[in-house]
């Protein structure tokens, strides 16, 4: 398996498919690079080099006890980009991966970045605070921690229902997708599965978003039960200058899977510099 070792000795697994302008993917919690295979296969078939890594502690990467924070995630991404000498790259992040992309841009700049895409992403801040009234109460994240600690196997099985919107009336449930979510989640080590909750929920990335200076596409479903859109995409659109915002009506958090054809078409259009269908300019 292709791996590289970070400066702190953590082995990071990555996929590298195709050739052409690089498209770099950062996955959500508690998943792995497998979560982006639909997009990677599609874009690699269209003439792009698709690269995705398993975040430290997740998937096939090493499982250190430390480093489960946005700064380290971003630095790992920077090391991958430098190792592969990726230039003029499009960075795509889903959920926690969107936070990773934002912190990467804030800490390492955009000299190697051509464009960015945030999909159902956690910035600027998931946690509800006096300054962030649209956020989610800390009790919700405490309950997630408790669920992961008590029986994460069952917790991940249960979480898959809301993640993909399968708990909505009339939803067509794929048990295969649910099994894949569970499998990816169980490959994560317990330290990462637990500590990453704090990283994605309590990291204030308001200033990170203000540092974006490349074309950016924001995508989120308005029925996202994991990352509320009011605290996420709607705020990202206000903080990232000139960003394009597309809201998928009725779509869940895991729309890269449930609506993969639509997502793939929008990503290809954005990468090629075409107008994203039904998109609207962020305020």
Q: How is residue 129 annotated by DSSP?
A: B
Residues tagged active-site: 95, 224, 253
Token pair, residue 233, equals: 């995409």
Using CA atoms, how far apart are residues 118 and 99, in angstroms rounded to an integer?
9
Using CA atoms, how far apart are residues 180 and 45, in angstroms rounded to an integer?
23
Using CA atoms, how far apart are residues 25 and 86, in angstroms rounded to an integer?
13
Please state the length of the chain: 283
Which residues 6+ apart lie within 8 Å of 7 measured at CB? 79
| Cα–Cα distance list, 140 to 105, 137, 147, 233 (Å) | 29, 6, 11, 20
Which residues 6+ apart lie within 8 Å of 219 measured at CB? 117, 118, 119, 120, 233, 245, 246, 248, 255, 263, 266
| Cα–Cα distance list, 142 to 16, 145, 200, 211 (Å) | 36, 5, 13, 31
């Amino acid at each position: 398996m292709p791996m590289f070792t970070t400066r702190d000795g953590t082995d990071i697994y990555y996929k590298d498919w195709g050739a052409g302008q690089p498209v770099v993917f950062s996955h959500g919690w508690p998943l792995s690079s497998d979560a982006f295979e639909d997009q990677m296969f599609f874009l690699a078939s269209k003439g792009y080099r698709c690269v995705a890594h398993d975040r430290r502690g997740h998937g096939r990467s090493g499982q250190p006890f430390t480093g489960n924070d946005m700064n380290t995630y971003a630095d790992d991404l920077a090391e991958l980009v430098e190792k592969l000498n990726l230039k003029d790259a499009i960075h795509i992040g889903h959920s926690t991966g969107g936070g990773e992309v934002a912190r990467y841009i804030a800490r390492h700049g955009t000299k190697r970045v051509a464009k960015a895409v945030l999909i159902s992403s956690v910035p600027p801040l998931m946690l509800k605070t006096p300054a962030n009234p649209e956020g989610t109460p800390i009790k919700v994240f405490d309950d997630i921690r408790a669920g992961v600690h008590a029986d994460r196997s069952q917790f991940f099985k249960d979480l898959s229902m809301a993640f993909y919107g399968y708990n909505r009336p009339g939803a067509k449930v794929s048990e295969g997708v649910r099994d894949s979510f569970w499998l990816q989640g169980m490959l994560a080590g317990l330290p990462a599965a637990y500590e990453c909750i704090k990283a994605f929920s309590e990291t204030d990335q308001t200033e990170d978003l203000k540092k974006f200076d490349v074309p950016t596409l924001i995508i989120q479903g308005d029925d996202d039960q994991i990352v509320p859109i009011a605290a996420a995409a709607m705020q990202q659109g206000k903080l990232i200058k000139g960003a394009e915002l597309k809201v998928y009506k009725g779509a869940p958090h895991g729309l890269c899977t449930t609506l993969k054809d639509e997502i793939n078409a929008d990503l290809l259009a954005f990468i090629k510099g075409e107008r994203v269908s039904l998109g609207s300019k962020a305020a």
